Amino acid sequence: MVLDINAHRILIIDFGSQYTQLIARRVRELGVYCELHSFNINDAAIRKFAPKGIILAGGPESVYKTNSPCCPQAVFDLGVPVFGICYGMQIMAKQLGGKVESSRLRECGYARLNVVSKSRLLDGIEDHVDTDGMFSLDVWMSHGDIVTKMPKDFHVLASTTSCQIAGMFREEHCYYGVQFHPEVTHTKQGSRILSRFIFDICKCRALWTPLKIIEDTIISIRAKIGTDNVLLGLSGGVDSSVAAVLLHQAIGNQLTCMFIDNGLLRLHEGKQVMSMLTKHIGVNMIYVNAQDQFLNNLAGVSDPEKKRRIIGRTFIDVFDTQSSKLDNIKYLAQGTIYPDVIESSGSTSTKVNTIKSHHNVGGLPMVMNLKLIEPLRKLFKDEVRRLGLELGLPYEMVYRHPFPGPGLGVRILGDVKKEYVDLLRLADYIFIEELHKADWYYKVSQAFAVFQPLKSVSIVGDSRRYAWVLALRAVETIDFMTARWAHLPYELLETISGRIVNEIEDVSRVTYDVSNKPPATIEWE
């Protein structure tokens, strides 16, 4: 019998915290399947999901305010262990009859947590033992509200100097709540605490491992596709490349990949992707040179959102025209990953406005009358990467910085012209090459150059040069939703800037972007 690798699963309820996805990733890292759903999930869906345990995640609201998010009743009726984290603990306290109030002191950052009761959650997990034999943990807190009265039959699990009920529990029901965040790495024992909940309390088994995911995905692809043919739009990014290799392993020559060169790629990118997947992996590949079509459609357009829409639409047109030449294609494959699903299905409860329209989520299948297959739909990026390595893709490809679907089109501010693309491509190449040389490439999450339609004066040799100003951007981030500008060494910036200005005649000046996200987005458009 085939093992169901999703059978031992945890449900995570999202109340809008930016850390919710992190909890899900931590659970997956431990080898257990989990899904993240908004607090709006209904009772029937929770029962149908049949989790072995539930984690109530954090959130930015106050549980005592009108219309603040509540927890579905099924969470407490199901009879499975429940672990409330931050807002999750507070909502558990409130809904089970306790009280939550605003704290006089906002507690944000490191805290020393004294463990005051013996529990299955924290027993034997400690960072310090003091002379009285009292255990304590180094944890990370971020809250302005506190539980002031626990629900009936709950006990205090842990305290800090400013938060008397920093943890609570009712052991016979396997209900636990903590005010701190075990999912962030600043909480040193965080992973052990999550592991304790998942394995010892929920009795999950670690069935969710890269090898098993690969085996399972291949079996389900084969079952779904049968003898039909599949077309995959390959961007060269890690997601679509991993999807290509997985599909290739599952259905071999029934898969055809189409790589559309939109003229907005990084230097040598098209060639590298083609060579990797055709020569090394043996995937059937069609290369479409649509550079002129994209650049013509973009001519004279400077509005960022219009540019994104044009690029997205042109992809669809090209894809449509080319795929109509292929016989017997029944499925369209996409490299959609779990965060795309979460964001587009609204399973995140944050009321996020559309800041930028990401062109590659959805779109294609609607116009094409093909059935959709998305083999990475349940996976986070780090899981996709692990699968990529397991499937034999080279490290440099799997850990390459992400590249946006609209490519250099959103890194050329305003009008996109071929001469700007060529210039930017070279500068970008130099930047990345120097980051590699200085061993900084993998220390930053994303790095690139930006073209600004702006000229300045410089002096080269004895002559005056009036040429373009380029910007460099490098950021460090975990989830790409927030990011810090990378503190690259001055010497490295100097080398990069020197090379760009010396090697590219049409550049007079290089600037470095020192903006964090928020407020600035990572891309400039």
User: Within 13 Å, how many C-alpha atoms sit on residue 519's CB side?
Assistant: 0
Asked whether residue 80 is marked as a ligand-binding residue, the answer is: no
Alpha-carbon span 145 to 70, nearest angstrom: 16
Residue from 120, 224, 356, 371 that binds ligand XMP (CB under 6 A)?
356
Q: How far apart are CA 58 and CA 85, in angstroms?
A: 6
| The two three-digit tokens of residue 136, written as one number | 């304590």
Q: Is 360 in the site for ligand XMP (CB under 6 A)?
A: yes
Q: Cα separation of 152 and 261, whole Å?
A: 63
Q: Which is nearer to ligand XMP, 330 or 517 (CB)?
A: 517
Active-site positions read 86, 181, 183
Q: Tell me whether residue 226 is annotated as binding.
A: no
The answer to whether the bond into 518 is cis (omega within 30° of 0) is yes
Instruction: Give the x/- contact pattern for ligand XMP in 296-315, rule: CB under 6 A.
Output: ------------x-------
Rg (CA), the chain: 26
* The pair of three-digit structure tokens given for residue 175, joined into one six-digit string: 């209900």
Q: Does 402 bind ligand XMP (CB under 6 A)?
A: yes
> Which of 404, 409, 441, 508 is in the footprint of ligand XMP by CB under 6 A?
404
CB of 18 to ligand XMP, least distance (A): 14
- 237 annotated among ligand-binding-site residues: yes
Residue 523 binding ligand XMP, by CB under 6 A: yes
| Measured distance CA(197)–CA(190) in Å, rounded | 11
CB of 259 to ligand XMP, least distance (A): 15
Nearer to ligand XMP, 394 or 402 (CB): 402
Cβ neighbours, 10 Å, residue 192: 16
The 197-226 site mask, x for binding ligand XMP (CB under 6 A), equals ------------------------------
480 touches ligand XMP by CB under 6 A: yes
What number of chain residues touch ligand XMP (CB under 6 A)?
A: 15
Stretch that binds ligand XMP, among 161-169, 277-285, 398-406, 423-431 (CB under 6 A): 398-406
Q: Which of 59, 210, 406, 409 binds ligand XMP (CB under 6 A)?
A: 406
Beta bridge partners of 463: 460
Q: Is 241 annotated as a binding residue?
A: yes
Cα distance between residue 154 and residue 93, in whole Å: 9
Give, in order, the Cα–Cα distances in Å from 391 to each of 9, 218, 420: 25, 12, 37
Shortest distance in whole angstroms from residue 281 CB to ligand XMP = 22
Q: Give the chain's largest Cα–Cα span.
A: 83
Task: Give the residue numbers of the binding site for ATP.
Answer: 235-241
